[in-house]
């Protein structure tokens, strides 16, 4: 009786040494990113080993505003844009490149995605889920603490920048001393 051939995923054809070399390449890349400053090689290896590396073609909507989130992404290579929909228009919020990350709010909040992210070039992404953070906390607690602290610092910086933009908009429409109380 003939057997049906089911092709395996491309990544499963790689020999173990190739997968190991690829993992080391990612840890080397991550070590150059601000988010991972201060991480030891072993901590980065654990994170990469627990996480998924995915490739998305240009034009792919990686996350969609309003969808539930459970993970963040670190851009290893490529470019993406962050935007929100207002009526039928896209309002650009940021341009992202290698070393940037997005979706981190979903690691600490059960809310929906606050913006969409579209790959403007082919992107290679490190996908870090809540489960990965939990497992990392069990095997490399210092790495999990460092990562969450770095994410927290980033969120605070973004909040401060947003507050300043809001204040600038308010001040643009008012003379000093005439702001509503």
38 touches 98 (CB < 8 A):
no
The answer, yes or no, to whether residue 1 has pLDDT greater than 60, is: no
Residue whose pair of structure tokens reads 């080391």 in the numeric block: 24
Taking residues 85-109, what's their average pLDDT? 92
51 touches 127 (CB < 8 A):
yes
DSSP letter, residue 60:
-
The Cα 148–Cα 141 span in angstroms is 11
Lowest mean pLDDT among 6-10, 27-31, 37-41, 141-145: 6-10
The answer, yes or no, to whether residue 177 has pLDDT greater than 70, is: no
| Token representation of residue 89 | 């228009």
The answer, yes or no, to whether residue 11 has pLDDT greater than 50, is: no
The answer, yes or no, to whether residue 179 has pLDDT greater than 80, is: no
**CATH code 3.40.50.2300 for 12-172:** no
**How much of the chain exceeds pLDDT 90, in percent?**
64
The answer, yes or no, to whether residue 38 has pLDDT greater than 70, is: yes
The Cα 84–Cα 92 span in angstroms is 7
Report pLDDT for 181: 52
**How much of the chain exceeds pLDDT 70, in percent?**
83
pTM: 0.80
């Amino acid at each position: 009786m003939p057997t049906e051939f089911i092709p395996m995923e491309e990544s499963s054809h790689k020999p173990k040494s190739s997968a190991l070399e690829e993992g080391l390449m990612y840890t080397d890349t991550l070590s150059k990113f601000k988010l991972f400053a201060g991480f030891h090689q072993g901590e980065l290896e654990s994170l990469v080993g627990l996480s998924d590396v995915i490739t998305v073609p240009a034009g792919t909507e990686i996350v969609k505003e309003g969808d539930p989130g459970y993970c963040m992404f670190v851009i290893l290579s490529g470019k993406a844009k962050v935007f929100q929909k207002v009526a039928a228009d896209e309002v650009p919020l940021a341009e992202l490149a290698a070393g940037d990350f997005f979706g981190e709010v979903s690691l600490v909040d059960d809310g929906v995605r606050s913006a969409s992210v579209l790959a403007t070039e082919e992107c290679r992404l490190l996908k870090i889920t809540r489960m990965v953070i939990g497992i990392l906390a069990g095997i490399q607690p210092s790495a999990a603490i460092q990562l969450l602290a770095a994410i927290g610092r980033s969120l605070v910086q973004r909040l401060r920048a947003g507050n300043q933009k809001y204040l600038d908009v308010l001040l643009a429409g008012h003379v000093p001393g005439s702001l509503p109380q």
